[in-house]
């Protein structure tokens, strides 16, 4: 992962500095999102038919409910550490995930890429697909 892909901008609101994160540039998108799509993620462009969000989406399927729950637990810990939380749903042995960065205008950012890569690794460790 190239650290140069993470671009932060600082702005001030109410005398308090806040960190924002940008959506991916076209070249970052090609370099980072394309491999995720090849690994099973679906990229959805920002259109009115997708509620105005650019997203990464994937269904992970596991042999059992316990393994699906273990996956969600690992993701939850990583999400807390990175302060970036997925939208997800779980039924028995599958977990549907949607990633987008609200701070980047509901677009895909480096946070989503990192979370998707981590989820891929967590799923491999639990025989997930």
Using alpha carbons, select from 76, 90, 86 the residue that is nearest to residue 112.
86
Full-model pTM:
0.79
Whether 87 maps to a domain, the answer reads: yes
- Residue range(s) defining the domain that contains residue 55: 23-124
Whether 14 maps to a domain, the answer reads: no
Whether 97 maps to a domain, the answer reads: yes
Whether 2 maps to a domain, the answer reads: no
94-99 and 87-91 as β-strands: parallel, antiparallel, unpaired? antiparallel
> Which residues, listed in sequence order, are joined to residue 20 by a DSSP beta bridge?
9
Whether 3 maps to a domain, the answer reads: no
| Residue-wise pLDDT tens digits, 43-78 | 988 765 656 788 999 999 999 999 999 999 999 999
Whether 101 maps to a domain, the answer reads: yes
| Domain tally, the chain | 1
In the block, residue with structure tokens 């892909």: 5
Q: Which residues of the chain have pLDDT under 50?
A: 1-18
In the block, residue with structure tokens 């599958």: 94
Whether 63 maps to a domain, the answer reads: yes
CATH number at residue 75: 3.30.1360.20
């Amino acid at each position: 992962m190239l650290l140069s892909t993470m671009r932060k901008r600082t702005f001030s609101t109410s005398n308090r500095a806040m960190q924002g994160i940008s959506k991916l540039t076209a070249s970052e998108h090609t370099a980072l999102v394309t491999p995720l799509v090849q690994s099973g993620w679906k990229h959805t462009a920002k259109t009115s038919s997708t509620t105005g969000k650019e997203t990464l989406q994937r269904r992970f399927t596991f042999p059992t409910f316990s393994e699906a729950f273990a996956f969600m637990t690992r993701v939850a810990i990583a999400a807390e550490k990175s302060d970036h939380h997925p939208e997800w749903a779980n039924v028995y042995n599958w977990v549907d995930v949607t990633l987008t960065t609200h701070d980047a205008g509901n677009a895909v950012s480096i946070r989503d890429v990192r979370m998707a890569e981590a989820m891929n690794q967590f799923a491999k460790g639990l025989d997930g697909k």
